[in-house]
A and B are shown apart, each in its own frame.
Chain A
Amino acid sequence: MRYLPLTPDDRAEMLGVIGAPSVDELFKDVPAAARAQDLFDLPLHAGELEVERELGQLAALNRPAGDGPFFCGAGAYRHHVPATVDHVIQRSEFLTSYTPYQPEIAQGTLQVLFEFQTQVAALTGLDVANASMYDGSTACAEAVMMAQRVTRREKAILSGGLHPHYAATTQTIAHAEGMEIVRQSAAVDAEAAVIAAIDAETACVVVQTPNVFGVVTDVTRIAEAAHAAGALLIVVTTEAVSYGLLKSPGEMGADIAVAEGQSIGNALNYGGPYVGLFACREKLVRQMPGRLCGETVDAEGRRGYVLTLSTREQHIRREKATSNICTNSGLCALAFTIHLSLLGETGLRQLAALNHGRARELKAALAGVAGVEVLTPRFFNEVAVRVPGDAAALVEALLADGVVAGVPYSRLDPHAGLDDVLLLAATETTTSDDIAALVAALQRKIGR
């Protein structure tokens, strides 16, 4: 067994030092009734070739996004990641290191986290960011609970434009914490309805832009209404590349911004691992969940970095902790940071503009298909359309033409009554040929 270095002689010698007659003796605290006598009914160990073969066969049963025209978004986006990113994150010193509990020998990870925090604060237009969360959806739930701690109020209003999985995650977790979650009905232009729902009990309002239908919204008025009522505004973004083109949540008055960072530096991975971004105004920092890295000095006065403000955390405060989180998405945050430093200000703006341009081309092409109605007025790189009949069945039918035509809204929320709505995203990886193939396939299927 190639991963186990002990030889039978080693084991015998070690047992001698321990003074135990056999390995079984080391398990003597396990009650006899609970000891498994035989091997479990699972295959025996396999060589590298065999494992590669099995996993290769499984992978081959899937259709990778890059295999042809592909328009799925809805919270996960296919972007090109420079080769440098994956090379660097696979360096042993990053890949196989742990939480930087010993800062003197973890400055690499810590400086990266400090850079990550600064980048996320800049992107979101807020003062401080943490060292990342599990993903965007769990970051959203944590933001709602943070609003409860800050305002000492129990009600959260979730816009109908919030990604249904984010709403469900928040409902599951914040409800357990005793919060009242008011989830508004799904609607393409859902943000207008939010202001009317704000009252004196409201802890926070959660608004997504670009929203799940692709609509970009100026949330300034919602921010004003929330603040007037003493509530916080949480702005959610599932497509982090949009920060390159659009006004930031901070500029529009958000108190907390959360986002899915997968789009920058990270692959689709069938849903995970991803990287949650979390930023807020400085005065709220001690209520922020998750890890924080801070600057300090060493014994010789040299600049260095440490994990800090851990008095909010579970290992110090236990049942009084700000949250139960004891990790971050370290490697995904590293990938995010590397990709973003390769892009820089210029590259990110250009990438965002490219994405928007591709989506404009997509929208124009869709608008030309008889029977397809574009629902999204202003968008970044994703649009919602109404199609004749069931969108899920249409997507399945278009597979025959090699086109993955997007995400039927019913896949996200079967109860919304929006079975004829289809969400389509374009990124810099989408070509004009892809769009032409989509349109041709659509015309064949619904033109009749």
Chain B
Amino acid sequence: MTLHNVGRPTRPQAAASDGHASLTGARGLLQDEPLLFELGGWEKTGVDLPAPEHDASDLGDLVRAAPIGLPGLSEPEAMRHYVRLSQKNHAIDLALYPLGSCTMKHNPRLNEKMARLAGFADLHPLQPQSTTQGALQLMDRLAHWLKTLTGMPAVALSPKAGAHGELCGLLAIRAAHEAAGHGHRRRVLVPTSAHGTNPATAAFVGYSVTEIAQTDDGRVDLSDLESKLSDDVAAIMVTNPNTCGLFERDILEISRLTHEAGAYFYCDGANFNAIVGRVRPGDLGVDAMHINLHKTFSTPHGGGGPGAGPVVLSAALAPFAPAPWVVHGEGGLHLVEEAIDEAAQAFGRMCAFQGQMGMFVRAYAYMRSHGADGLRQVAEDAVLNANYIKARLSSVMTPAFPEGPCMHEALFDDSWLEDTGITTLDFAKAMIDEGFHPMTMYFPLVVHGAMLIEPTETESKRELDRFCDALEALAQAAKAGDAERFKGAPYLAPLRRLDETLAARKPKLTWRPEPTTVAPAPLAAE
């Protein structure tokens, strides 16, 4: 299987600027914003704190002597710095954010308001449990919803992100094999179309990874799977719907074969939003599946996180779930923080405390807002929107898998760009000039020049039409030979194409003062 992410051009190509330059270098209201370190003052501060009443003489030579090197800003300066920076970001609140496999949907502000209630936000993870009964109830209700929606008997809430959930699921699988005396099972099967975290996680847990081929219609190749199942296989990791945006039609067969071989079935639940309310992974024979709360249940991504990745577990794996978990007991709910008696088989602990409580509140608010009926509608609308995009764009772009419906994302390849001299990357950058965030590019790796578009359920038909109209126009420009529009793009973003090669070759990861800059004087002793 060839992987098609190699050799994509990242070096910027010089292109003439289109025009008018201001006298100051600013672009109208879009200001260039220096780094904090160039703006701030060493003695400046944006907080008013009382003078300390006690000295630190009892700490002796442990007290920091040299300056730290942290500039400060007054409150208005800080406000302006970060607001100006914010204006250089695209966001889901500005327009469609069609990143396939990443799921950017509306982030309701009700969720934010609820997570900021003092009863949740100002709660210490180790204060007495009798003072956190509401938080434990919320965790218990969230667990109930997750178990019901997935048809699975148990859930581990603590994993902090999807990939952390994968790790949790595989650790449970490993623990179960070891408990059964099957420690010799050291191999994990992963389809070539899997998220990169799947093989990375399996390797991380000490497994060797065997790839499973894909059929021409984008599904797991059953005969390849059968030939690779043997008594040293610990698990298979399948994403369903998969990263080509397709439902694994043979999922029941995959599950049966896996179990017959004595292995466990791990499902990457990143795309659960496509089937929530319509399909219960437990009915498919899944043993473990992480659920990206930030994807299916709309917690904010915040420029890369925090995420949350609870893992649902089958009866076979449930006893191995990591601490902590909530149990019903005398006098209310109880948080089991260390498995002493209750479940001696727990494989350990994923992180210091209870997991992403702030995200639990947001996800639960989203679930309650939709209800059982709304969540089913979520899956239907997500799938309808993706199929609509696929149908509308099929006349100008080439769907990677034209036959049959897709699920929540529409996948195109770059064969329609053949002979134009324009790459997927160029096309994506030109979308920026049209006011859209590009789709996911060059993923999944099994499709040449992949363009993966995921609209989600919270896009209106009007916005989808606006998007499709723009892409149609761009596609026609590409086919008409207007290569310059693409090779130099983006022209209208805060910056032109960035040199990723230079960044990697000569990494500059922190700001350092220019040699001529005078170092700040040490602060006077307090």
* Given pairs A57-B134, A108-B88, 15 additional interface contacts (CB within 8 A): A5-B463, A6-B460, A27-B383, A29-B249, A31-B252, A46-B371, A58-B138, A93-B87, A94-B86, A243-B64, A298-B497, A327-B163, A330-B303, A334-B302, A344-B45
| B141 closest partner in A (C-beta) | A58
Our pick among A30, A58, A378 for the contact of B278 (Cβ within 8 Å) is A30
Is B507 close to A, CB under 8 A? yes
Tell me, in angstroms, the Cα distance from A18 to B301 when the chains sit together. 31
Beta-carbon contact of B369 and A324 below 8 Å: no
* A 15-48 binary contact with B (CB < 8 Å = 1; else 0): 1011110010111111101111001111111101
Of B91, B199, B496, chain A has the most CB atoms within 10 Å of the CB of: B91
Is A320 close to B, CB under 8 A? yes
Complex contacts, B122 vs chain A, CB 8 Å: 64-66, 78, 267-268
For this complex, 22 residue pairs linking A to B, each with C-beta atoms less than 8 Å apart, are A1-B373, A3-B374, A6-B461, A20-B405, A40-B277, A54-B368, A66-B122, A91-B83, A99-B301, A111-B35, A243-B68, A247-B64, A267-B121, A268-B124, A297-B502, A298-B12, A323-B200, A327-B163, A341-B81, A353-B526, A378-B58, A399-B131
Is A100 close to B, CB under 8 A? yes
Tell me, in angstroms, the Cα distance from A218 to B55 when the chains sit together. 19
Beta-carbon contact of B120 and A62 below 8 Å: yes
Complex contacts, A329 vs chain B, CB 8 Å: 304-306
B336 to chain A, nearest CB (A): 11
Of A107, A260, A345, chain B has the most CB atoms within 10 Å of the CB of: A345
A310 to chain B, nearest CB (A): 8
Is A365 close to B, CB under 8 A? no
Beta-carbon contact of B68 and A40 below 8 Å: no
Our pick among B252, B378, B508 for the contact of A34 (Cβ within 8 Å) is B252
Tell me, in angstroms, the Cα distance from A334 to B304 when the chains sit together. 11
Tell me, in angstroms, the Cα distance from A135 to B79 when the chains sit together. 26
Our pick among B354, B378, B488, B493 for the contact of A270 (Cβ within 8 Å) is B354
Partner-binding segment picked from A195-203, A286-294, A437-445:
A286-294
Chain B interface residue count: which class? Answer: 35 or more
Tell me, in angstroms, the Cα distance from A94 to B92 when the chains sit together. 10
Beta-carbon contact of A328 and B304 below 8 Å: yes
Of A6, A67, A344, chain B has the most CB atoms within 10 Å of the CB of: A344
Beta-carbon contact of A3 and B85 below 8 Å: no
Complex contacts, B162 vs chain A, CB 8 Å: 326-327
Complex contacts, A216 vs chain B, CB 8 Å: 59, 62
Is A245 close to B, CB under 8 A? yes
A42 to chain B, nearest CB (A): 4
Complex contacts, A72 vs chain B, CB 8 Å: 124, 126-127
Partner-binding segment picked from A121-129, A186-194, A223-231, A367-375:
A121-129
**Quick one: given A45-B371, A82-B46, A103-B498, are A59 and B437 in contact (CB under 8 Å)?**
no
Of B33, B277, B302, B349, chain A has the most CB atoms within 10 Å of the CB of: B302
| A355 closest partner in B (C-beta) | B52
Our pick among B113, B338, B494 for the contact of A107 (Cβ within 8 Å) is B494
**Quick one: given A99-B304, A172-B350, A243-B68, are A299 and B12 in contact (CB under 8 Å)?**
yes
Tell me, in angstroms, the Cα distance from A94 to B82 when the chains sit together. 10
Our pick among A28, A54, A172 for the contact of B404 (Cβ within 8 Å) is A28
Beta-carbon contact of A88 and B43 below 8 Å: no
Is A448 close to B, CB under 8 A? no
Beta-carbon contact of B123 and A270 below 8 Å: yes
Is B89 close to A, CB under 8 A? yes
Partner-binding segment picked from B204-212, B222-230, B310-318:
B204-212
Is A285 close to B, CB under 8 A? yes
Complex contacts, A330 vs chain B, CB 8 Å: 301-306
Beta-carbon contact of A52 and B110 below 8 Å: yes
Per CB-CB distance, the 6 closest pairs between chain A and chain B, nearest first, are: A344-B72, A59-B119, A331-B302, A271-B353, A172-B348, A61-B134
* A 70-97 binary contact with B (CB < 8 Å = 1; else 0): 1010111010001010101111111111
Beta-carbon contact of A360 and B58 below 8 Å: yes
| A89 closest partner in B (C-beta) | B302
Tell me, in angstroms, the Cα distance from A309 to B197 when the chains sit together. 17
Is A350 close to B, CB under 8 A? yes
The interface on chain A, measured as residues whose beta carbon lies within 8 A of the other chain's beta carbons, has a size of: 207
| B357 closest partner in A (C-beta) | A270
Is A150 close to B, CB under 8 A? no
B522 to chain A, nearest CB (A): 10
Beta-carbon contact of A33 and B353 below 8 Å: no
Complex contacts, B87 vs chain A, CB 8 Å: 93, 108
Beta-carbon contact of A4 and B62 below 8 Å: no
* A 140-174 binary contact with B (CB < 8 Å = 1; else 0): 00000000000000000000000101101101110
Beta-carbon contact of B199 and A347 below 8 Å: no
| B512 closest partner in A (C-beta) | A118
**Quick one: given A14-B388, A272-B355, are A6 and B381 in contact (CB under 8 Å)?**
yes
**Quick one: given A308-B500, A340-B70, are A246 and B368 in contact (CB under 8 Å)?**
no
Our pick among A26, A129, A268, A316 for the contact of B5 (Cβ within 8 Å) is A316
Is B347 close to A, CB under 8 A? yes
* B 284-310 binary contact with A (CB < 8 Å = 1; else 0): 100000000000000011111111100
Beta-carbon contact of A395 and B134 below 8 Å: no
Beta-carbon contact of A331 and B305 below 8 Å: yes
A29 to chain B, nearest CB (A): 4
Tell me, in angstroms, the Cα distance from A3 to B111 when the chains sit together. 12
A171 to chain B, nearest CB (A): 6
Beta-carbon contact of B58 and A316 below 8 Å: no
Is B47 close to A, CB under 8 A? yes
Complex contacts, B35 vs chain A, CB 8 Å: 111, 114-115, 118
Beta-carbon contact of A321 and B511 below 8 Å: no
Our pick among A5, A26, A42, A337 for the contact of B148 (Cβ within 8 Å) is A42
Beta-carbon contact of B358 and A98 below 8 Å: no
Is B180 close to A, CB under 8 A? no
Tell me, in angstroms, the Cα distance from A415 to B432 when the chains sit together. 57
Of B252, B357, B358, chain A has the most CB atoms within 10 Å of the CB of: B358
Complex contacts, B348 vs chain A, CB 8 Å: 168-169, 171-173, 175
Beta-carbon contact of A4 and B303 below 8 Å: no
Tell me, in angstroms, the Cα distance from A58 to B280 when the chains sit together. 28
* B 33-67 binary contact with A (CB < 8 Å = 1; else 0): 10111001111111101111111101111111111
Tell me, in angstroms, the Cα distance from A129 to B204 when the chains sit together. 22
Tell me, in angstroms, the Cα distance from A285 to B116 when the chains sit together. 36
Tell me, in angstroms, the Cα distance from A20 to B348 when the chains sit together. 49
Tell me, in angstroms, the Cα distance from A14 to B463 when the chains sit together. 13
Beta-carbon contact of B280 and A104 below 8 Å: no
Our pick among B206, B432, B461, B511 for the contact of A114 (Cβ within 8 Å) is B511
Complex contacts, A184 vs chain B, CB 8 Å: none
**Quick one: given A34-B279, A165-B353, A314-B163, are A404 and B128 in contact (CB under 8 Å)?**
yes
A332 to chain B, nearest CB (A): 6
Tell me, in angstroms, the Cα distance from A235 to B41 when the chains sit together. 29
Is B519 close to A, CB under 8 A? no
Beta-carbon contact of B163 and A325 below 8 Å: yes
